[in-house]
Chain A
Amino acid sequence: MTLATRIIPCLDVDAGRVVKGVQFVNIRDAGDPVEIARRYDAEGADELCFLDITASAHERETLVHVVEAVAGQVFIPLTVGGGVRNCDDIRRLLRAGADKVAINTAAVHDPDFVSEAARRFGSQCIVVAIDARRVTGGEAAPRWEVFTHGGRRETGLDAVAWAREMVARGAGEILLTSMDRDGTREGFDIELLRAVGDAVAVPVIASGGVGTLAHLAEGVKAGGVDAVLAASIFHFGEHTVAEAKAYMAGQGIEVRE
């Protein structure tokens, strides 16, 4: 195996500005997406993920300009998600320089949208984002359900079956977030990563719960994922991407130097 495990910093963008307290030393403007993207690129990030959390529709267009500006200066893959609802949204983002789009709520509302998007743009650029919450406890076999709207709305869909269906419809990658762990800094839900990773052939990106570098390595070694996504451990300056890679390499995980 010579394919490197990917480390993907994730940035929340609101009306064209990166939010959620990104803190870098020697950065002029902590909210500037281009400056932050360049920093992560220089540190060795393997991809970047931008999630648009803009509430108002007319400000969504600013994300397209953000992607354009970043893509003109940072030459690594860019995934963009948040509010991707139709093929026009996808076309606009790809034309602006995004390499992949992450589809979440719109896939639940209309699974045919994923089939259509994969047919028109190719599976390689269609990431389906799944927010999963554990619905069993105690001794029962673990089961997870798909939630939308930032984990607030249940769908009744089984997360593993949903992942399988999304791949059958053409998703080229699954971005899998544990809503139980998101924001807790207690580490990934390893059983969830295993269950989905065993069910599909496409790459799985683990997300939700990273608090330490050990958590990243655990996701790869115990969870079997191909990529790890993290926000806060990088944003708050606790660790650089380079430190994360050095740590993972020390754990015997193949990373891009």
Chain B
Amino acid sequence: MSRIAVIDYGMGNLHSIAKALEHVSARERVIISGDPVALRRADRLVFPGVGAIADCMSELQRLGLDTVIREAVRSRPVLGICLGMQALLESSDENDGVDCLGLLRGHIRRFEGGADAAGRRLRVPHMGWNRVMPVAEHPLWRGIEPGSRFYFVHSYYAPAECEGVAATTDHGLRFASVLAAENLFAVQFHPEKSQQAGLALLRNFVDWDGELRAAMPRVAAAQ
């Protein structure tokens, strides 16, 4: 039986994502684990996360899971969610500056707030249902209309200039709401809380075998 592992490193609500994966999985077994051995045996990895990036990185390193993720992106489909997407880039401004996994080039910044063109205040955190505009085709978009709304909650964002941008969203500025490279697909929003569109994306992930397409950015070599 094919196995999907949700990486448990003490950051956030893993049960929601596990329940959503179970909901869309016909044959796959969903496990939640922080054990590198169990994670290495899984066929697919989900890398979730909420909270602060400094805690996220230090826990990953303490548990040896940074290495597991670096290895996994070269061999199996990996889905990053929220902080699990931000951690893939080189660094973040959060917590006075934190080095991240560096699998993709880019730097996480904080939303400035301010107002939109109509004078409405741009709230931080960016919280709620916003449109996601894919910039290229990808198997994970199957059956999902461009511009579908997904549920976001975050105060820091990946700029639209980072490597591997697969979709963008507007909140005062245009930011990268999805990054993709080879076996990696990483989303800023919460598919497990995004109703039909989110479940469709998770179902596509469960059916996806990953790919090493020349047209897509290569993830940085493991250090």
| Mutual binders A and B | yes
Contact-size category for B:
35 or more
Contact-size category for A:
35 or more
- Which residues of B lie under 8 Å from residue A122 when comparing CB positions? 12, 50-52
Counting CB contacts under 8 A, is B23 at the interface?
yes
Task: Report how far A124 CA is from B188 CA in the complex, Å.
Answer: 13
Interchain nearest-CB distance for B97 vs A (Å): 19
B171 touches A3 (CB 8 A): yes
Interface residues of B in 141-183 (CB under 8 A from A): 149, 151, 153-155, 169-171
B15 touches A97 (CB 8 A): yes
Residue of B15, B20, B127, B192 contacting most chain A CB atoms (<10 Å): B127
Counting CB contacts under 8 A, is A87 at the interface?
no
Interchain nearest-CB distance for A57 vs B (Å): 24
Counting CB contacts under 8 A, is A56 at the interface?
no
Task: Report how far A99 CA is from B13 CA in the complex, Å.
Answer: 7
Cβ-neighbour of B124 out of A94, A99, A202 (below 8 A): A202
B13 touches A201 (CB 8 A): no
- Which residues of A lie under 8 Å from residue B125 when comparing CB positions? 123-124, 172-173, 202-203
A4 touches B149 (CB 8 A): yes
Interchain nearest-CB distance for A244 vs B (Å): 15
- Which residues of B lie under 8 Å from residue A172 when comparing CB positions? 125, 127, 153
A226 touches B16 (CB 8 A): no
Cβ-neighbour of B20 out of A2, A4, A5, A75 (below 8 A): A75
- Which residues of B lie under 8 Å from residue A77 when comparing CB positions? 151, 153, 190, 193
A3 touches B23 (CB 8 A): no
- Which residues of B lie under 8 Å from residue A109 when comparing CB positions? none
B130 touches A4 (CB 8 A): yes
Task: Report how far A98 CA is from B193 CA in the complex, Å.
Answer: 11
Counting CB contacts under 8 A, is A224 at the interface?
yes
**Chain A binder among B40-48, B101-109, B112-120, B214-222:** B112-120
Interchain nearest-CB distance for A223 vs B (Å): 12
Task: Report how far A197 CA is from B169 CA in the complex, Å.
Answer: 24
B155 touches A226 (CB 8 A): no
- Which residues of B lie under 8 Å from residue A197 when comparing CB positions? 121
Task: Report how far A226 CA is from B52 CA in the complex, Å.
Answer: 24
Counting CB contacts under 8 A, is B208 at the interface?
no
Counting CB contacts under 8 A, is B29 at the interface?
no
Residue of A4, A76, A96, A256 contacting most chain B CB atoms (<10 Å): A256
Interchain nearest-CB distance for A52 vs B (Å): 19
**B15-35 toward A: CB 8 Å interface, digit per residue (1/0)?**
110011001000000000000
B193 touches A124 (CB 8 A): no
Interchain nearest-CB distance for A201 vs B (Å): 5
Counting CB contacts under 8 A, is A182 at the interface?
no
Interchain nearest-CB distance for B49 vs A (Å): 9
Task: Report how far A16 CA is from B121 CA in the complex, Å.
Answer: 38
A-B contacts, 19 of them at CB < 8 A, read: A1-B118, A2-B130, A3-B171, A71-B15, A76-B193, A76-B194, A94-B12, A95-B13, A97-B13, A99-B13, A99-B16, A125-B13, A172-B127, A172-B153, A201-B123, A201-B124, A202-B123, A202-B125, A226-B128
List the 10 closest pairs (A to B, CB-CB), nearest first. Answer: A122-B51, A256-B129, A1-B116, A4-B129, A124-B153, A203-B123, A2-B131, A3-B130, A256-B149, A122-B50
